Amino acid sequence: MIKIKKDGFTLSEVLVTLAVVGTLAILVLPGLIKDTNNKAMMSNLQSAVSTLNNAVQNELISKGTQSVENTDIKSDPEAFLQTLDVAKLSKTDTFADKYTTLNGGNGGKPNVSYAALLKNGIAVGLSNTTNNDSAKAYTTVYVDTNGPNTPNIIGVDLFALKISWGTSIPADANSQPQHSGDLGAFPNGIINYSTTEPNIATVKTNCKAGNPAACYLLVERTSFDPNYIENAE
């Protein structure tokens, strides 16, 4: 009689294989999930910045002016926010009550005068800052890419940028002069203006310590790279 040999795995071999696969999943999946989340957060941030930029330009056109100082961005920020796709206007529960830093410290909460939660879940907060030198006046814009939801970490889902008011804003050594209505990073990664080229190592340190403006400067310099801290130069 011819015996047919049956190929297959023993129970012990199957168990060992499952154990190996399970171990690899434990090691690899958290990194994959984190990478996916970082990409999603950065995509949301880029979308929010694009939406805000369009809203600023539309505001200038609708008011027939070249200066933000003659628009609702300065005189009635709440009305400006309402031009976005808003789910609700509220500065009390639009952002999380507490943010941590990339270093694990206490990052506090954005100091905003006006805020809105958009229908896509992104939070936007505005805080106007005047200056004796009108060229340096601006609106600080805080963006949380998923509103009050976790992780609530500065540099992961919370960033800060600015809308320039003046008609000729000082630029850093590596940038073009800014104009009224320009939306983007503070030139030196701190919420003020400097004509000196930012020290990227210092900006990275400030970002990790909880400066949302420093984090956004690095994001902008890397064209919204999810690994912006490592890749910023």
CA distances from 9 to 14, 17, 22, 138, 191 (A): 6, 10, 18, 69, 64
The reported pLDDT for the residue numbered 196 is: 65
Which range, 28-32, 67-71, 196-200, is most confident? 67-71
CA distances from 131 to 1, 45, 196 (A): 99, 28, 19
For the cut 50, the answer to whether the pLDDT of residue 53 exceeds it is yes
The reported pLDDT for the residue numbered 6 is: 54
In which element (H, E) is residue 61 found? Answer: helix 11-63
User: Quick one: tokens of 104?
Assistant: 């694990």
Percent over 70 (pLDDT), the chain: 75
For the cut 90, the answer to whether the pLDDT of residue 29 exceeds it is no
**What residue ranges in the chain does DSSP mark as E strands?**
86-89, 99-100, 106-108, 114-118, 123-129, 138-144, 158-164, 183-184
The reported pLDDT for the residue numbered 32 is: 36
Residue 70: Cβ within 10 Å count: 16
Residue 51: Cβ within 10 Å count: 17
For the cut 60, the answer to whether the pLDDT of residue 5 exceeds it is no
CA distances from 30 to 34, 79, 138 (A): 6, 42, 40
The reported pLDDT for the residue numbered 168 is: 56
The reported pLDDT for the residue numbered 110 is: 93
Could you give the CA distance from residue 112 to residue 69 in angstroms, rounded to a whole number?
19
Could you give the CA distance from residue 184 to residue 217 in angstroms, rounded to a whole number?
8
Residue 142 or residue 192, greater confidence: 142
- Band of the pLDDT at 179, cuts 50, 70, 90? confident
pLDDT tens readout for residues 99-132: 999 999 999 999 999 999 999 999 999 998 766 5
For the cut 50, the answer to whether the pLDDT of residue 191 exceeds it is yes
Q: Is the dihedral of CA 213, 204, 223, 107 positive or negative?
A: negative
For the cut 80, the answer to whether the pLDDT of residue 11 exceeds it is no
The reported pLDDT for the residue numbered 10 is: 73
Give this prediction's pTM: 0.82
Stretch 137-149: mean pLDDT, rounded? 93
Stretch 80-90: mean pLDDT, rounded? 95
